[in-house]
């Protein structure tokens, strides 16, 4: 090797990041675990607690008490956790004393990924053989529909974590295609356990909106409540049955509260849509926002209250008409260097 | 220990490899069928028996001799505890080759061959890797009908190779070529069976010899 004479030390120092993440030896991690356990007992003694029953939460509380830190980032504060959580999981040496690697696909480079593909293909062949046996005996093939909507396949990152090695996009898509082919076979129920390792339950996203039943007040009149909002206005509406079409806002009649025709039209729109103009009474409370925002808030609140009086089909019609959706538009903030949210300062050529 | 290693070398057929196959087996497994005349490689002409209706027929006598040499060599390598790597880039037989390798306790590579696997091994795998001592090719061509990169790499790294060469393959750099069909499933299954039996036989013989030596 050449000895660099007339150069700076910066050239001689190797690029620190090029060697990849630090490789921790097993002996090092063992020592860290011993030190951690010893430190845990010392900490328990210091806090005056029993060293045997000192849990991780107690450790966190003790550290937060002994080393108070005002740092914003929680991960920058003093930390005392078990070394297995601190040091990432790593691949140990892949070959034995005589030099022979342990895994039979070691020389491919991506041993865990290819062994997974090999296993999946084996399951595929097994299912096909089973299918052939059933068709030979003229037995019907099982056809229980798997719940496809509630499950998703593992993401690429999750697969990388599982295999402890990098997986490229192509490899990942190939693996998913193979899994889909396996699942598509009629007798795939045999390998259900294997498939479940790679599928995850998707939590039901659409919460079924529960339409509350009608309540009855002292006189026996059915009523229901609804809440709505628009911009900064918040409104609650109580819609009574067997009414004459009277609407009261904050104790004031709508003709006096909303002098503008447009606002009153907004209030009446849900009733007009369902054809129940003269049949319901309404009492609302509203605060915040401006004239138009309050009208929109009450409209949403009354539409939500009316769901209890009406069939499911009409609720679907209301939803498609946009009566039940919260209007997401709010005032956009002003940005620095501009006059308003979008308007820039006047540009002068000179 | 020295006697263990030198004793098999004095016999021409220490592992009685000739008993594993007959000419009839090769014929039944359709090993003699080659590709069409247009696909013929110039260096395969010595191994071809003749041409029938434009299809090349491989000379099974020569195949017998080459196969016996190759199996004998693999048996010796396995007896001395060498690492054997099965290579094949045929998608049809990928699973079969991998299962054969697993059954033998040896290694397989039937996937995309990364460039520096043999030549750049110390950087790709880590310092102190042991490279394979024998490469067995169930098919010397890759998916684009070109010679597999591993043949050239093994020649560079002084690793002996055993390979099944078909009529469109180049047998030049392979140490123990076996002229024969590499496309039919029957032929490939026969090869896998033969290699598996030789390797297992060699390993068993080694264990027996070690046990006998320990008793003495």
- The more confident residue out of B1 and B36 is B36
DSSP state string for A198-220: TEEEPP--SPPPPPPPPEE-TT-
CATH number, domain with residue B171: 3.40.50.10490
Q: How far B133 CA lies from chain A's nearest CA (Å)?
A: 11
List per-residue pLDDT tens for chain A, 350 residues long: 566 666 666 555 555 544 555 667 788 889 999 999 999 999 999 888 888 888 899 899 999 999 998 899 988 999 888 988 888 776 677 888 888 999 999 999 899 999 999 999 999 999 999 999 988 888 777 766 666 677 888 999 999 988 988 899 999 999 999 999 998 888 888 888 998 889 888 776 666 777 778 888 888 888 899 999 999 999 999 998 888 888 999 999 999 999 999 999 999 999 999 888 888 889 999 999 899 999 999 999 999 999 888 888 888 899 899 999 999 999 999 999 999 999 999 998 88
User: Two tokens at A67?
Assistant: 């080393």
Is it true that domain A215-321 has CATH number 3.30.230.10? yes
Domain count across chain B: 1
Residue B150 domain-assigned (yes or no) = yes
* 3-state DSSP assignment of residue A79: coil
**Among chain A residues, CA nearest to B94:** A118
Domain ranges of chain A: 26-86, 106-201, 215-321
Q: Which of A98, A99, A109 sits opposite B114 (nearest CB)?
A: A109
B177: number of Cβ within 10 Å: 25
- On whether residue B11 sits in a domain, the answer given is no
Q: Is the ipTM of this complex over 0.90?
A: yes
Dig out the tokens for A218 from the structure.
Answer: 């002292």
**Residue B106 belongs to some domain of the structure:** yes
Report d(CA A299, CA A311) in Å as an integer. Answer: 19
Give the span between the Cα atoms of B124 and B114, in whole angstroms: 10
Whole-number pLDDT of residue A21: 57
Mutation site for B-interface testing, chosen from A98, A105, A107, A124 by largest number of B Cβ within 10 Å: A107
What is the nearest CA distance from A345 to chain B, expressed in angstroms? Answer: 57
Do the domain assignments include residue B3? no
In eight-state DSSP terms, residue A90 is -
Domain-embedded: residue B139? yes
- Within 8 A by CB and 6+ apart from B128, the residues are A99, B122
* DSSP reduced 3-state for A336: coil
Per-residue model confidence (pLDDT) at position B43? 94
* Listed range (A145-149, B74-78, B190-194) with the worst mean pLDDT: A145-149
Other beta carbons less than 10 A from residue A218's beta carbon:
5
The rounded distance, in Å, linking the Cα atoms of A131 and A141 is 7
Chain B hits for A107, CB-CB cut-off 8 Å, are: 85, 107, 109, 117, 132
In a domain, B193, yes or no: yes
* β-strand partners of A215: A223
3-state SS record for chain B: CHHHHHCHHHCCCCCCHHHHCCHHHHHHCCCCEEEEHHHCCHHHHHHEEEEECCEEEECHHHHHHHHHHHHHHHHHHHHCCCCEEEECCCCCCHHHHHHHHHHHCCEEECCCCCCCCCCCHHHHCCCCCCCCCEEEECCCECCCCCECHHHHHHHHCCCCEEEEECCCCCCCCCCEEEECCCCCHHHHHHHHHHHHHHHHHHHHHHHHHHHHHHHC
Q: Which of residues 52-111 of A touch B (CB under 8 A)?
A: 93-95, 98-101, 104-110
- Judge whether B129 is closer than 8 Å to chain A, CB to CB: yes
Quote the pTM value. Answer: 0.71
Give Cα separations from A255 to A228, A258, A265 (angstroms): 21, 6, 11
Other CB atoms within a 10 A radius of the CB of residue A19 amount to: 9
Assigned domain for B39 exists? no
For residue B83, which of A112, A93, A98, A118 has the smallest C-alpha distance?
A: A98
Q: How far is B182 from chain A (nearest CA, A)?
A: 22
Q: How far is CA A107 from CA A100, B116, B157, B178, B199, in A?
A: 11, 11, 15, 24, 19
CA dist B165 and B181 (Å) reads 7
Residue pair A126/A191 in contact (Cβ under 8 Å)? The answer is yes
Alpha carbons B109 and B101: distance in angstroms, whole number: 9
Please tell me if residue A125 touches chain B, with a CB cutoff of 8 Å.
Answer: yes
> Closest-CA residue in chain B for A104?
B107
* Phi and psi torsions of A169, nearest 5°: -60, -45
Chain A contact present for B200, CB below 8 A: no
Of the candidates B70, B64, B30, B40, which has an alpha carbon nearest to the alpha carbon of residue B163?
B70
Would you call A40 helix, strand, or coil by DSSP?
helix
Residue B43 lies in a domain: no
Q: What does chain B come to in residues?
A: 216
Alpha-helical regions (H) of A67-110: 83-86
**Which chain B residues contact residue A124 at CB under 8 A?**
none
Which residue, among B162, B156, B173, B170, has the nearest Cα to B137 in the 3D structure?
Answer: B162
Burial, A339: exposed, middle or buried (Cβ in 10 Å; 0-12, 13-18, 19+)? exposed
Residue ranges making up the domain that contains B97: 60-113+130-215
> Given A104, A107, A121, which is nearest B132 (Cβ)?
A107
């Amino acid at each position: 090797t050449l000895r660099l004479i007339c150069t700076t030390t910066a050239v001689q120092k190797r690029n620190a990041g090029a060697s990849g993440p630090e490789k921790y030896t097993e002996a090092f991690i063992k020592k860290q675990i011993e030190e951690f356990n010893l430190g845990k007992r010392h900490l328990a003694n210091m806090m005056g607690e029993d060293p045997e029953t000192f849990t991780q939460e107690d450790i966190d509380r003790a550290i937060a008490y002994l080393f108070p830190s005002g740092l914003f980032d929680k991960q920058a504060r003093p930390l005392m956790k078990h070394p297995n959580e601190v040091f990432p999981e790593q691949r140990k040496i892949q070959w034995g004393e005589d030099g022979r690697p342990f895994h039979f696909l070691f020389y491919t480079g991506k041993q865990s990924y290819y062994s997974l593909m090999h296993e999946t293909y084996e399951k595929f062949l097994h299912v096909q053989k089973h299918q052939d046996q059933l068709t030979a005996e003229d037995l019907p093939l099982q056809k229980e529909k798997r719940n496809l909507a509630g499950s998703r396949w593992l993401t690429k990152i999750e697969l990388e974590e599982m295999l402890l090695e990098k997986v490229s996009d192509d490899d990942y898509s190939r693996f998913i295609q193979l899994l889909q082919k396996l699942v598509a076979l009629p007798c795939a129920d045999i390998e259900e356990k294997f498939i479940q390792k790679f599928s995850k339950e998707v939590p039901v996203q659409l919460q079924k909106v529960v339409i509350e039943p009608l309540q009855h007040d002292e006189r026996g009149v059915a009523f229901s409540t609804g809440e709505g909002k628009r911009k900064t206005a918040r409104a609650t509406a109580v819609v009574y049955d067997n009414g004459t079409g009277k609407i009261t806002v904050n104790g004031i009649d709508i003709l006096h509260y909303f002098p503008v025709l447009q606002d009153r039209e907004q209030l009446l729109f849900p009733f007009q849509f369902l054809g129940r103009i003269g049949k319901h009474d309404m009492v609302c409370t509203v605060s915040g926002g401006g004239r138009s925002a309050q009208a929109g808030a009450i409209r949403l609140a009354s539409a939500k209250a009316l769901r209890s009086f009406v069939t499911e089909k009409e609720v679907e019609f209301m939803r498609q008409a946009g009566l039940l959706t919260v209007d997401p538009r709010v005032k956009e903030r002003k940005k620095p260097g501009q006059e308003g949210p979008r308007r820039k300062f006047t540009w002068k050529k000179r | 220990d020295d006697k263990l290693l030198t004793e098999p070398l004095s016999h021409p057929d220490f592992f009685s490899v000739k008993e594993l196959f007959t000419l009839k087996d090769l014929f039944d497994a359709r090993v003699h069928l080659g590709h069409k005349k247009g696909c013929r490689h110039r260096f395969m002409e010595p191994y071809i028996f003749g041409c029938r209706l434009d299809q090349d027929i491989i000379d099974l006598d020569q195949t017998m001799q080459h196969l016996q040499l190759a199996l004998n060599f693999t048996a010796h390598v396995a007896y001395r505890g060498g690492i054997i790597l099965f290579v094949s880039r045929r998608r049809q037989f990928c699973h079969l080759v991998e299962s054969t390798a697993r059954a033998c306790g040896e290694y397989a590579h039937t996937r995309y061959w990364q460039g520096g696997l043999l030549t750049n091994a110390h950087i790709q795998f880590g310092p102190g890797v042991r490279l394979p001592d024998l490469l067995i090719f169930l098919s010397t061509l890759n998916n684009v009908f070109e010679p597999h990169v591993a043949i050239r790499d093994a020649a560079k790294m002084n690793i002996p190779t055993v390979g099944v060469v078909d009529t469109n393959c180049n047998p030049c750099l392979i140490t123990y070529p076996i002229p024969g069909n590499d496309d039919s499933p029957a032929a490939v299954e026969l090869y896998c069976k033969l290699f598996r039996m030789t390797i297992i036989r060699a390993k068993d013989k080694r264990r027996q010899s070690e046990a006998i030596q320990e008793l003495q």
